[in-house]
Structure 1
């Protein structure tokens, strides 16, 4: 999951306290870091993610669709889920979820991920 290590991390095997504080401050300029405890690797990953955001991520969209059976008081149905993740203009990820059941039910929701832990979890969930 974690990208290449920051030069200070590669040199010493980990990020020293001052470097980590500097990384956290840089990350905090673009993402919400309040309440987030970051390991050295996570701080370096987020710093790299922000540095490479315009080039590698901005505007990229991924869509996943899956179907699975479910049960309700009316009996068995099949639900289809569609998740679309979009890297927004500002550093962050918008996740759109749509679902529809073969019995006519449907819905949708949107969630914006603009915090450090949320970004890390998004990448972790996708391997």
Structure 2
């Protein structure tokens, strides 16, 4: 039988693992992950915030704008479990890089898109 308090695999206060934001200072991988995800979300937010303006300027109807925004929001929620499963099977780094590649393609299509494509 184990004695009470004997070797319970808990770190002592001097060995306690960092918590909260201290993890980012202590763990390079955690810091890189937070930076990559934050930058990705910033790009996504910039694209979705400016999309209605550009769509209307290029001649899209309000119906097209509404459908575009609705599909974006629905896609974020609908595909969240898919990307979670993919991250578990393929690895976090692979899925994160694929996400950043998709965001780069979205930026390029936004920058290089032609008005005739929206009618």
Shorter-chain TM-score range: under 0.3
Query: Quick one: higher RCO (CA 8 Å, sep 6+), 1 or 2?
Result: 2
Structure with the bigger percentage of helix: 2
TM-score w.r.t. structure 2 length? 0.26
Structure with the bigger percentage of strand: 1
